[in-house]
Amino acid sequence: MSENVMQKAKELANALRFSPEFILMRAAEDAANQDEYLTNIYQEYERKRTEVEQLATQDDPDYDEMKARTRELEELQAKYNEHPLAKAVKQSRNNFAAMMRDVNSTLQQSLNPEGTQARGCSGACSTCAGCN
């Protein structure tokens, strides 16, 4: 592999690491991971998920019990998702993913400019459904 390409990939990775989107995403994740309420919900969710998996692998599973545990999982997930820190994590991840889609689109356009124009690409990646 070309040393120049690898160097440019490292430069891109460094630029991404210091982007506001990445920094905000990491800060939101760190805050959520340090929040006792959220970590307790997550641990309880994982415990119940394991219980549901164990129930499902039994020779004669108790479907009523599985249904009840699944409902509990859904309730825990809803509690988690409604917490402001969890919402911040989700939003920051969405923002970072959008930036990464734009980066990938730019790479694709640079590698195949005729292909994107042939599909009617306007160059406005933020409003695009994708180049695929």
Q: How far apart are CA 108 and CA 15, in angstroms?
A: 19
Domain that holds residue 42: 25-89
Q: Is residue 129 part of a domain?
A: no
Taking a C-beta distance cutoff of 8 angstroms, is the pair 85, 111 a contact? no
Give tens-digit pLDDT for 45-104: 999 999 999 998 999 988 899 999 999 999 999 999 999 999 999 999 999 999 999 999
Residue 91: per-residue pLDDT: 98
pLDDT tens string 20-53: 999 999 999 999 999 999 999 999 999 999 999 9
In a domain, 104, yes or no: no
| This prediction's pTM | 0.75
DSSP structure class, residue 123: S
Domain annotation covers residue 77: yes
Q: pLDDT-based confidence at 130, cuts 50/70/90?
A: low
- Residue 112: what pLDDT? 87
DSSP state of 126: G
What tokens does 100 get? Answer: 């990464």
Cβ proximity of 89 and 97 under 8 Å: no
- Counting the structural domains of the chain, the total is 1
Q: Is residue 4 part of a domain?
A: no
In a domain, 125, yes or no: no
Please choose, from the candidates 82, 73, 87, 97, the residue with its C-alpha nearest in 3D space to the C-alpha of residue 29. 87
